[in-house]
Amino acid sequence: MADVEIFKHDILIVGTGLAGLSAAVEAAQRGKDVATVSITQAYRSHSSAAQGGINAALANVAEDDSAERHGFDTTKGSDYLADQKAVLAMTEQAIPRILELDKLGIPFSRTEDGKIAQRPFGGAGYPRTCYSTDKTGAVIMMGLYEQCLYHEVPMYEDRIVLSIGEKENKIKGVVAINLITGKLEIFQASAVIFAVGGAGRVFKDTTNSWHNSGFGFVLPYFKGVPLKDMEFVQFHPTGLATNAVLLSEAARGEGGYLRNKDGERFMKNYAADKMELAPRDIVARSIQTEINEGRGCGPDGDYVELDLTHLPAEQILSRLPQVRELAIRFAGTDLIEEPAPIRPSTHYTMGGISVNDKTESEMTGLYAAGECSCISVHGANRLGGNSLLECCVFGKISGVSTSEFVEANKVDDDALEVLQKEADEVEANIQNLFNGEGSEDGFKLMAEMQKVLSKNLGVFRNKEGITKAQETIKDLKERYKKIKVKYTGRIYNWELARLYMLGGQLHLAEVIVEGALKREEFRGSHCRTDFMKRNDKKFMKHTMAHYDVKNDTCKISYSKVDLSIWEPEERKY
């Protein structure tokens, strides 16, 4: 039997970004025995890199804004693949949730009358994005982290969850590796919330953190929980061309222009009305089209420019200090004086672990919230400012749901037995990696996966490219069986951890590819150049990927979209 340490809590949250911390604070306020476990130290999660803001129809700036209008914009932005009642629930709860955050001392930027300031954002009919300069994610996360300190929530850090313990479709807890001791640990819990963030790192050029591997997505999947709509991946229009670090949409919200090599504001040819503030999928495609058609800038013509030079320096310094700093540090350009080179970069995973609007998955006791979940409130394309919102609203809801769940359910007697068995399996997997054949190099396989996905499942897709990716991923899955982890020490063994996770990432890549291949239409972020129209008759449905244990591959089925509030129409801006 594997040598393990055992921890027990009623509610365990995997991940400490905005969703995880929202859940933790809610459960703690309700006096529950709740703990978090995270791959990083608790404050390092990637919500901190979200810059521009968080949407709520507070109507502090535009008086006639409403939750209903916010819901409509979100649904239209989603190209009608979002579930409409869930969307409206989110936009309605946005208002009290932001006011609640304000009372926790989050330092939002303010209006002249001392209320929370709001700025325009892409795809929104009104200025409804609340912000704190361009560090919104960081300050909210800090505020919630501080609340966790107030409530003395136990936070287990430097740990990677490697498996779920489950029996008869009921969760018993998780198995993790503690990087600091190198030992496996069992976390027994009646309710587990997955809040592990995005999966940008299955692609090559991504705005995501090193830790957004997507591995957390496949743990529930391997145990029977479906992944929903994974083919919908958002490419942020303005990743820095040098290293894909995000320059916030706030830069355009504050009035920034996009220009091609001729200095032309090319968005007038794609979205004459909304221009640079069209939704992200449209702006990303427009940029890529300019590049593909030879109007990109630079010696290789592989980027366009984000131009703020017409804005007063004071405005840039006071509202976009971090955007400016990032461009200086990573591209060597000061936005006050010159434009920055940008191009679309993999940014956000619209799909995820399939859950309902209470954040419940199909497995009893397993919940998911934030980017790794899919309710769906973003459908085929997410609007800027709605991701932090989803985390704060549904993170809190998952705290409510799990609190109620643990009140009604006792710990199972067989939990430790199930988890110990699971730990033994994880240990066997680790030993297999240590003792592998070694004819393949794991990190090279990882790079190949990222490259083939970025090349063939990027802003534009077609059958030929996706099929190529399908073959490559299948091949990589076979070759993965021949890798070897060379360093066999246990403590802080990132070679082991990253290559262990690669096994799961390849399955996630497969789910993305299979969904994209079968969805023969153009909807939101999923632009099939061989099927250039949205096809509501055939594809107004969610893709559901189930793990097929026998064949070690995925099986695609579909589920209904909730269209009960707004009638789908053509999406024009």
User: Catalytic residue at 324?
Assistant: no
Q: Does 406 bind other proteins (CB under 8 A)?
A: no
Edge-first strand listing for the sheet containing 170-178: 4-8, 184-188, 170-178, 159-167
Q: Based on CB atoms, which residue is closest to other proteins, 245 or 313?
A: 245
Among 309, 310, 312, 307, residue whose Cα is nearest residue 257:
307
Q: Which stretch binds other proteins (CB under 8 A): 297-305, 309-317, 494-502, 505-513?
A: 494-502
Q: Does 326 bind other proteins (CB under 8 A)?
A: yes
Q: How far is the CB of 243 from other proteins (least distance, A)?
A: 6
Are the CB atoms for 528 and 522 separated by under 8 Å? yes
Q: Which stretch binds other proteins (CB under 8 A): 357-365, 483-491, 506-514, 543-551?
A: 483-491
Any residues with CB less than 8 A from the CB of 266 and at least 6 apart, and which? 258, 259, 260, 286, 290, 295, 304
Q: Does 338 bind other proteins (CB under 8 A)?
A: no
Interface mask (CB under 8 A) for other proteins, residues 105-124, using x and -? x-xxxx-xxxx---------
Within 13 A of 129's CA, how many CA atoms are on the CB side? Answer: 34
The residue within the footprint of other proteins, chosen from 40, 66, 432, 553 (CB under 8 A), is 40
Q: Which stretch binds other proteins (CB under 8 A): 282-290, 354-362, 484-492, 555-563?
A: 484-492
Q: How far is the CB of 49 from other proteins (least distance, A)?
A: 5
Looking at 119, 128, 280, 528, which residue is catalytic?
280
Burial of 459 (0-12, 13-18, 19+ CB in 10 A): buried
Burial of 484 (0-12, 13-18, 19+ CB in 10 A): middle
Q: Which structure tokens are listed for 129?
A: 């994005």
The residue within the footprint of other proteins, chosen from 487, 557, 559, 572 (CB under 8 A), is 487
Beta-sheet pairing, 129-130 with 155-156: unpaired
- Segment (H or E) for 391: helix 386-408
The residue within the footprint of other proteins, chosen from 496, 511, 513, 545 (CB under 8 A), is 496
Q: Based on CB atoms, which residue is closest to other proteins, 38 or 543?
A: 38
Residue with token string 């090279």: 444
- What is the C-alpha separation between 526 and 82, in angstroms, rounded? 14
Q: Does 434 bind other proteins (CB under 8 A)?
A: no
Q: Does 494 bind other proteins (CB under 8 A)?
A: yes
Q: How far is the CB of 245 from other proteins (least distance, A)?
A: 5
The residue within the footprint of other proteins, chosen from 24, 28, 94, 139 (CB under 8 A), is 139
Q: Which structure tokens are listed for 243?
A: 């290293």
Q: Does 203 bind other proteins (CB under 8 A)?
A: no
Q: Does 451 bind other proteins (CB under 8 A)?
A: no
- Segment (H or E) for 281: helix 280-292
Q: Which amino acid is at 113?
A: D
Q: How far is the CB of 185 from other proteins (least distance, A)?
A: 16
Q: How far is the CB of 210 from other proteins (least distance, A)?
A: 5
Q: Based on CB atoms, which residue is closest to other proteins, 59 or 415?
A: 59
Q: Does 433 bind other proteins (CB under 8 A)?
A: no
Q: Based on CB atoms, which residue is closest to other proteins, 492 or 520?
A: 492
Q: Based on CB atoms, which residue is closest to other proteins, 133 or 401?
A: 133
The residue within the footprint of other proteins, chosen from 32, 70, 119, 211 (CB under 8 A), is 211
Altogether, the residues listed in the chain come to a count of 573
Q: How far is the CB of 332 from other proteins (least distance, A)?
A: 9
The residue within the footprint of other proteins, chosen from 246, 287, 316, 545 (CB under 8 A), is 246
Partnered with residue 35 across adjacent β-strands are: 12
Q: Does 163 bind other proteins (CB under 8 A)?
A: no
Does residue 475 come out as left (phi exceeding 0), alpha (psi in the -120 to 50 range) or beta?
Answer: alpha
Per-residue 3-state assignment (H helix, E strand, C coil) for 24-50: HHHHHHCCCCEEEECCCCHHHCHHHHC
Q: Based on CB atoms, which residue is closest to other proteins, 177 or 545?
A: 177
- What is the C-alpha separation between 450 and 466, in angstroms, rounded? 14
The residue within the footprint of other proteins, chosen from 147, 373, 386, 450 (CB under 8 A), is 147
Any residues with CB less than 8 A from the CB of 377 and at least 6 apart, and which? 74, 78, 82, 83, 86, 87, 90, 386, 390, 394
- What is the C-alpha separation between 491 and 219, in angstroms, rounded? 23
- What is the C-alpha separation between 175 and 161, in angstroms, rounded? 6
Q: Which stretch binds other proteins (CB under 8 A): 43-51, 166-174, 347-355, 551-559?
A: 43-51
The residue within the footprint of other proteins, chosen from 99, 317, 428, 549 (CB under 8 A), is 99
The residue within the footprint of other proteins, chosen from 33, 66, 95, 245 (CB under 8 A), is 245
- At residue 373, φ and ψ (nearest 5 deg) are -100, 160
Q: Does 373 bind other proteins (CB under 8 A)?
A: no
Q: Does 297 bind other proteins (CB under 8 A)?
A: no
Catalytic residues: 280
The site for other proteins (CB under 8 A) is made up of 40-41, 43-46, 48-49, 99, 102-105, 107-110, 112-115, 132, 135, 138-139, 142-143, 146-147, 149-150, 180, 182, 209-211, 242-243, 245-246, 322, 325-326, 329-330, 443, 485-487, 489-496
